[in-house]
Amino acid sequence: MDREPLLRLHRAADTEPQRRTRRQDHPVITAAQLERIYCSYVAPIYRFIYSRLGNRQEAEDLTSQVFMKSLQYLDPTASPKEIEAYLYQIARTDIADHWRRYAALRVVPLDETPAALDMEEAGEATGPPATETLKADLERVLGLLPPNYRRVIELRFYDGCSIKETARAMEVTIANAKVLQYRAIQRAAALARGERTIP
Partner 1 sequence: MMDRYDRLDRHIDRLLANRRPQPYVAEDDEERAVLEMAARLRLLQPGAEAPRRRFAATMYARLRRLINGPKGTSRRRIVVGGLGGLAAGIIAGLGLAHTNRGPLADLGDRFASPAQALKAAGWAPAGKLQDVPEGGALAFRTSAFSGYIMRKGNQLSALSAICNHMGCHVDWQQESSQFVCPCDGARFDSSGQYQQDAYANAGYGTLQPLTPLAVRKDGDVLYVKPI
Does position 195 bind partner 1 by CB under 8 A? Answer: no
The number of residues that bind partner 1 (CB under 8 A) is 94
CB of 26 to partner 1, least distance (A): 7
Does position 110 bind partner 1 by CB under 8 A? Answer: yes
CB of 161 to partner 1, least distance (A): 9
Does position 77 bind partner 1 by CB under 8 A? Answer: no
Handedness of CA 37, 39, 43, 44 (dihedral sign): negative
Distance of alpha carbon 83 from alpha carbon 86, whole angstroms: 5
Distance of alpha carbon 32 from alpha carbon 92, whole angstroms: 26
Q: Which of 68, 77, 130, 146 binds partner 1 (CB under 8 A)?
A: 68
Residue 146, SS3?
coil
Q: Which of 160, 171, 194, 196 binds partner 1 (CB under 8 A)?
A: 160
Return the ∠ at Cα 104 (arms to 102 and 107), rounded to 5°: 160
User: Residues 9-38: x/- map of binding to partner 1 (CB under 8 A)?
Assistant: xx-xx----------x-x-xxxx--x---x
Comparing CA positions, the residue from 145, 154, 139 lying closest to residue 183 is 145
Report the site for partner 1 in 127-146 (rule: CB under 8 A): 131, 134-135, 138
Does position 116 bind partner 1 by CB under 8 A? Answer: yes
Q: Label each residue of 122-141 as H, E or C.
A: HHCCCCCCCHHHHHHHHHHH
Q: Which of 4, 79, 81, 106 binds partner 1 (CB under 8 A)?
A: 106
CB of 103 to partner 1, least distance (A): 5
141-172 burial, b at 16+ Cβ within 10 Å, e below that, comes to bbeebeeebbbbbebbeeeebebeebbeebeb
Does position 105 bind partner 1 by CB under 8 A? Answer: yes
Distance of alpha carbon 37 from alpha carbon 160, whole angstroms: 35
Q: For residues 31 and 198, which CB has a smaller minimum distance to partner 1 in the complex?
A: 31
Q: Which of 140, 144, 148, 162 binds partner 1 (CB under 8 A)?
A: 162
CB of 170 to partner 1, least distance (A): 14
